Amino acid sequence: MILQTEVTDFIRREREARGRRLDDQAAVLRPTLEHLKIGVCLFDVRLHLLVWNERLAEFLTLPRNRLWRGMHFDALLEQVRGQFIFPGGHSARQLSDWVRRARRLETFQIEVTRDGGQVYEIFAQELPDGGFVVSLEDITEVRSTLAE
């Protein structure tokens, strides 16, 4: 019985240490992410939101309380699913499918529009630990300039 208690205590301490390391990493990342002109969010291997910047919330037109650490990717996708128009034959389902792949060897990239003519590029890439990063960039000006 003592051995089981020691193992359980060890596992609990390891999980707490891992949580502190993730908190420390997020504290370092946040100022860097806030400096970017693109919206960015990072998810862990279990598809839970680790960190994001305010630009992401702005681009997704979400109030601050609609994003939280530990939020599952599906919950975020459900909140924003209807905001974007995907090009012919494409849908948010493709991003969801990419997220669920065991190995995401290739990146995910697509341009979407929003009512009012805004154009965004969604870019996603796997991280070395099995998590992934998603960025959202407003490319409306670029597309408008190229169309002239």
Q: Determine what percent of the chain is predicted with pLDDT higher than 90.
A: 45
Q: How confident is the model at residue 81 (pLDDT cuts 50, 70, 90)?
A: confident
- Residue 113 tokens read as 């529009």
SS (H, E, C) the chain: CHHHHHHHHHHHHHHHHHHHHHHHHHHHHHHHHHHCCCEEEEECCCCEEEEECHHHHHHCCCCHHHCCCCCEHHHHHHHHHHHCECCCCCCHHHHHHHHHCCCCCCCEEEEEECCCCCEEEEEEEECCCCCEEEEEEECHHHHHHHHC
Q: Are 99 and 47 in contact (CB under 8 A)?
A: yes
Q: pLDDT tens for residues 100-131?
A: 887 888 999 999 999 888 999 999 999 998 99
At 83, give phi and psi (nearest 5°): -75, -25
Q: Give tens-digit pLDDT for 25-49.
A: 666 666 766 667 899 999 999 999 9
User: Taking the chain, what is the end-to-end CA distance rounded to the nearest angstrom?
Assistant: 75
